[in-house]
Structure 1
Amino acid sequence: MDKQPDVVVIGGGPAGSTAATILAQHGHSVTLLEREKFPRFHIGESFMPDTYWILRRLGMVEKMKTSDFVQKYSVQFVNASGQESQPFYFFENNPHECSQTWQVLRSEFDEILLRNSESFGVDVREETRVLDVLFDGDRQTGVRIRNKDGTDETLTPKVVVDASGQSSVIAHRLKLRQTDPKLQKASVWSYFKGAKREPGKFDVGATLVLQLKDKKGWFWYIPQHNDVVSVGVVAEKTDLFRDDSSAEEIFWREVENCPAIKQRIEGSERVDVYRTTKDYTYRSTRCAGDGWVLVGDAFGFLDPIYSTGLQLAFRSGSMAADAISEAIKANDFSAAQLGKWGPDFVTGMDRIRKLVYAFYEGFNFGAFVRKYPHHKRHITDLLIGDFFKDAIDEVWEPLADVIRSEAEKREMATA
């Protein structure tokens, strides 16, 4: 029989490529199975600065520095009345080069990351379908695949890493997915060439979060290279898709509901189709079982508001890879060993979840900074992706206080 890989990774996106590369760096044999041929379209274009440390571990920082991707130094919020918050400049927290990150075109970035995995010795197989993950009870026993040439094959690795994104092969099979009743959102977006950008080196690549004037949703505004901007609206699914309007009609209806967006894209040219997604907030009840692990969107996805998707993909992929490497060396492929990283990861994910909830409850960033200027560093920590440390937890009571104050003001205004 042909020698079997130590690990099979399903999916070549950021979580899968990260796990595969780190496992190869540890000296393990890895086969990565990708259904599509790269490059391919994917949403999720904005990095958080804390991804720097994993990019450096992957050997990707110099590749990013020499790329065409737009440099990102900050994030800024625009409220329903058009008032702009002070920019949250990441370098104010840490004057290290890690405080500058990037806005990427995922088709280009994901291919660079996948080729980087190959350079470390990962056996990358594109246009390869996973037909089934085989189980004996809860224990993974193999993966049935159909190769690019149409031949079927069964791989029997020690561990399977499911990085298959929202299709989440294992989570669906084992019925592990749970939705978040507080976050039943949907999105409609497209891409525009020639839209307005903020002036100045530190603002031109900023992510903008712009609230609708009826406060029922928000727009993202993400500058990319080649003079293109990603523009999308997020709101309650039942509100966005309240009638049989087309994606284009929904998008422009909400543009009229956000003058700050309308002003920015006026005179620009749309250069892509209108795209939609919904029912994207969920989390699996566990991250691992005997011989298998879930990472990235296959484990869960939160919300696009703070651009956490890539950070959580990188982080879960790296944490899982280290636990798998320990498992191989100890010959222990139990759920306890393979999932030992899960509690710390979920704690960090739940911290940013609290900030997501706060935004939809009416949290005002400007009001918070004015009332609690000494806590701005904690908010900035959350916005840069550094939410895996306990010190952040002291921000929650002040944050709740500002939400209560803003709610009282709204009640008085309508009384």
Structure 2
Amino acid sequence: MEVDYDVAIIGSGISGTMLGAILAKHGVRTLIIDAGTHPRFAVGESMIPESGVLLDILAARYDIPELSYPARVDTLINHVGTSSAGIKLSFGFAWNERHQPQRLDHIDSFPIIAPEAHLFRQDVDAYYLALAARMGATIWQQARIQHILEEADAMVLKTGKQDIRVRYVVDAAGYRSPIAQTFGLRNGAQRMQTRTRSMFTHMTNVTLFEEAIAPIEATGMANHLSQSTLHQMFKGGWLWIIPFNNHPRSTNTLCSIGLQLDIDEYGPAGDPEEEFQQLLHDYPSIAKHFEHAARVREWTVAPRLNYNSRALIGDRYCLLGHAAGFVDPLFSRGLANTFESIARVAPKLLRAVEADRFNRQDFESYQHYGLRVVATNDRLVANSFTGFDSFPLWNAWFRAWVAGSYIGVLRWRKIFDDYQRTGDDDALERAIDDTTFPGQLSLESHRFEEMFDKACTLMEAYKQGEREEEDVIATLQALYEEYRDDLPVDFTDFSNRCVSRSSQAFADHLQRWAHMAPHGLSEKLDRGTEPLVFDFLDDYRYGDRIALSRQADAVYLNA
């Protein structure tokens, strides 16, 4: 069979270029083709602990250290540039009531142990594109695919200027996926619960939380919310504020701003600037962030944000990343899900190219994961929008997500530790493919997934008017008590609104819990009892980390 390339990757965003770098590094003749060009505007900027360890896994497995540089803000600054990243020390959630100032006791914070990054995607995506080219991939930009044909022994991409014959196609082009359109893969997809729309842009001169709303001494948080991924929430929606200018080494003045609204609550999209100004009128504390702000680009509007697919694979193609589906980015799970998708697809595709055997059955586990992760994120986010009805309801609900996230990241760190110790590629693939709950928060905990299903069912009953808010809050608290031994942190004290710490002591606590986790879970999480070493990047932080943790202990643990 005569082909021009082994694999064509449609889309030169972060998923396509990372996979392209891996394939090219390992001898696959790889084409990355895109209708646009770089550098370019993109969102999906917030890293989470799962995404960092997944980048470390990919870098080690495929011997490309450069893949992992975006896992840390300091390596991003050193290798990509001082404009490439803001710092993320926590998730911050601040609830607002219409026409009222923000109450400081209506704020939740989920500090992460070691800092993550806010990716300035214009820089980071261009970096990964250059990495793929350096590994040997061929890059075609400003080349639009007009038609796709599936033949018995090849796929043919028609651009209008030439036909490109390839053995396999990975579509990483997002919502407008040519493969999804050609084969009708959006038709018949499972109906989604989340019904939101979005508008987003970049701004300069945005005033960050401690200057706009209240100093850290007033909130008692363990880190500055200006160094968090900040969610300004209200009934029916939320606004992200993701700064790139929030640490001493940054030379980037911009913030990413995105507004998500429930379509059933707010109706279809209107003029974006008018909607934004209405938001500032309705919520005076949110408005304080934008008293001196200026947009540096037009609003991008997504009238319907959420979508999925009925299938992700064929004999000679698969959908990757946001080509497969997308859910409102409330919990920043998109990048981690993309990196996990690459970890699942890459070894199978390398084997298929080597054997010249392309069969959808070999990718079934990836499809099962990909469909499940969209469904999980959909249910999580839909119930979170329900939780926006009031701060007490949100404060009770969001703890279910935190618990699952911690168990999941502990599992990923165990997988990475095992691989570093053994170097066994096959064992690594099995550990990922044989996940008990692929695409779900905990990956491996029967007890957590049981609790999470009960919590979701409870929130869904409340939305249908079958349960009262006070009853839902009390029942959630009872669930956290019932499953206390199965969760890494005690979530029953709803007055504790700063639920973790960026400290060695907290890291040691999680390690001890993983070592003793019940119901056989310790086998999946245990990394021993020796203290793990973390780089807290104190030079990048505002304030004294240890002193702020003690302040939070005094406010939230000794209240």
Normalising TM by the smaller chain, what interval?
A: 0.7 to 0.9
Structure 1 unpaired stretches of 5+: 92-98, 147-151
In the alignment, is the contact (CA less than 8 A) between 1:327 and 1:333 conserved in 2? Answer: yes
The alpha-carbon deviation at position 10 of structure 1 amounts to: 0.7
Q: Name 2:176's counterpart in structure 1.
A: 167
Task: Indicate how the Cα distance of structure 1 residues 377 and 119 shifts in structure 2: closer, same or farther if over 3 A, else same.
Answer: same
Residues 1:193 and 2:204 aligned together: yes
Distance in structure 2 (CA, Å) of the matches to 1:384 and 1:71:
22
Task: Indicate how the Cα distance of structure 1 residues 37 and 379 shifts in structure 2: closer, same or farther if over 3 A, else same.
Answer: closer
Q: Name 1:16's counterpart in structure 2.
A: 16
Look up the equivalent residue of 1:119 and give its one-letter code. Answer: R
Task: Indicate how the Cα distance of structure 1 residues 222 and 385 shifts in structure 2: closer, same or farther if over 3 A, else same.
Answer: farther
SS at match of 1:157: strand
Paired residues in the alignment total: 396
The alpha-carbon deviation at position 45 of structure 1 amounts to: 2.0
Q: Name 1:101's counterpart in structure 2.
A: 116
Task: Indicate how the Cα distance of structure 1 residues 76 and 395 shifts in structure 2: closer, same or farther if over 3 A, else same.
Answer: farther
In the alignment, is the contact (CA less than 8 A) between 2:4 and 2:165 conserved in 1? Answer: yes
SS at match of 1:265: coil
Q: Which has the larger Rg?
A: 2
Percent identity between the aligned chains? 22
In the alignment, is the contact (CA less than 8 A) between 1:44 and 1:307 conserved in 2? Answer: yes
Look up the equivalent residue of 1:216 and give its one-letter code. Answer: G
Structure-to-structure mapping, 1:1-400, within 5 angstroms: 4-56=4-56, 57=59, 58=64, 59-62=66-69, 63-66=75-78, 67-68=81-82, 69-81=85-97, 82=102, 83-91=105-113, 99-136=114-151, 141-146=155-160, 152-177=161-186, 178=189, 180-198=191-209, 203-212=225-234, 215-225=235-245, 226-237=252-263, 239-240=265-266, 242=268, 245-362=270-387, 376-380=402-406, 387=441, 389-391=443-445, 392-397=448-453, 399-400=455-456
The alpha-carbon deviation at position 401 of structure 1 amounts to: 7.8
Look up the equivalent residue of 1:47 and give its one-letter code. Answer: M
Distance in structure 1 (CA, Å) of the matches to 2:140 and 2:406:
39
Task: Indicate how the Cα distance of structure 1 residues 397 and 236 shifts in structure 2: closer, same or farther if over 3 A, else same.
Answer: closer
Look up the equivalent residue of 1:76 and give its one-letter code. Answer: G
The C-alpha deviation readout for 1:66-104, integer Å capped at 9, x for no partner, is: 23311112101112344443311121xxxxxxx422112
Deviates most, 345-354 or 360-369: 360-369
Deviates most, 219-228 or 105-114: 219-228
Task: Indicate how the Cα distance of structure 1 residues 236 and 405 shifts in structure 2: closer, same or farther if over 3 A, else same.
Answer: closer
Task: Give the structure with the larger strand fraction.
Answer: 1
TM-score by length of structure 1 reads 0.84
Structure 2 unpaired stretches of 5+: 70-74, 211-215, 217-222, 246-251, 413-440, 473-559
Look up the equivalent residue of 1:39 and give its one-letter code. Answer: P
The alpha-carbon deviation at position 236 of structure 1 amounts to: 2.5
Distance in structure 2 (CA, Å) of the matches to 1:209 and 1:247:
19
The alpha-carbon deviation at position 328 of structure 1 amounts to: 1.9
Look up the equivalent residue of 1:230 and give its one-letter code. Answer: S
Q: Name 1:149's counterpart in structure 2.
A: none
The C-alpha deviation readout for 1:35-68, integer Å capped at 9, x for no partner, is: 1121112222222232223433252334524233
Distance in structure 2 (CA, Å) of the matches to 1:374 and 1:340:
27
Deviates most, 330-339 or 291-300: 330-339
Look up the equivalent residue of 1:227 and give its one-letter code. Answer: T
Look up the equivalent residue of 1:78 and give its one-letter code. Answer: A
Q: Name 2:468's counterpart in structure 1.
A: 408
Look up the equivalent residue of 2:138 and give its one-letter code. Answer: D
Deviates most, 57-66 or 393-402: 393-402
Task: Indicate how the Cα distance of structure 1 residues 352 and 366 shifts in structure 2: closer, same or farther if over 3 A, else same.
Answer: farther
Look up the equivalent residue of 1:60 and give its one-letter code. Answer: L
Task: Indicate how the Cα distance of structure 1 residues 53 and 45 shifts in structure 2: closer, same or farther if over 3 A, else same.
Answer: same
In the alignment, is the contact (CA less than 8 A) between 1:162 and 1:293 conserved in 2? Answer: yes
In the alignment, is the contact (CA less than 8 A) between 2:268 and 2:303 conserved in 1? Answer: no
Task: Give the structure with the larger helix fraction.
Answer: 2
In the alignment, is the contact (CA less than 8 A) between 2:34 and 2:143 conserved in 1? Answer: yes
The alpha-carbon deviation at position 27 of structure 1 amounts to: 2.5
Distance in structure 2 (CA, Å) of the matches to 1:374 and 1:241:
29
The C-alpha deviation readout for 1:166-222, integer Å capped at 9, x for no partner, is: 11101111111137442221112333322222458664331111222xx12111111
Distance in structure 2 (CA, Å) of the matches to 1:370 and 1:127:
48
**CA RMSD of superposed structures (Å):** 3.3
Q: Name 2:423's counterpart in structure 1.
A: none
